[in-house]
Amino acid sequence: MAHFTTTIESKASPEAVFAYVADFSNTREWDPSVSEARLLSEPPIAEGSRFEVRLPLLGRELVFEYRITHFEPPCRIVLESEDGLLRSVDTIRIEPMPFGCRLHYDADLRPRGAAYLLDLPLHLAFQISGSRSARGLERALARLVS
């Protein structure tokens, strides 16, 4: 199982951070592995909202359709994507602090079926990609207060 976790502190309010990460179309701003991300369902963003996220990989493009399965503003959001090869669950928790908040991001990517053979290389690639994404998210959250 490919798994990545990170914790980021921000001076932005929990509400501002929640609104930003809940709009998963923003991933193209902070995740360098994402070529395109867009909202598929009608606003406002809520439980059941759907997003398409595209990632180029080895000359092909992976397309994930994420759905918000838990939506608890401004504390927690869970997004899930599932197809024949991969199941992805991103859990984001936001904890208030005296001057801003702390965001905990937990991403879990599980190969399905014969794709389990890719589990170890996928985990290693996910660590590299996750570190880049975490740095991008930290910069994006810093822009929320400037």
**What pLDDT score was predicted for residue 1?**
62
Residues of the chain with pLDDT under 50: 115-117
Residue-level pLDDT at 127: 61
Q: At what angle are helices 14-22 and 119-143 packed, to 10 degrees?
A: 130
**Cα(130)–Cα(22) distance, integer angstroms:** 18
CATH number at residue 6: 3.30.530.20
Model pLDDT, residue 125: 61
DSSP lists the bridge partners of residue 107 as 4, 90
Dihedral (C-alpha) 108, 16, 30, 107: value to the nearest 10 degrees? 0
The domain tally of the chain equals 1
pLDDT for position 117: 47
pLDDT by residue (tens digit) across 16-46? 999 999 999 999 999 999 999 999 999 999 9
**Domain hosting residue 23, numbered range:** 2-143
The pLDDT assigned to 66 comes to 98
Is omega for the bond preceding 56 within 30 degrees of 0, making it cis? no
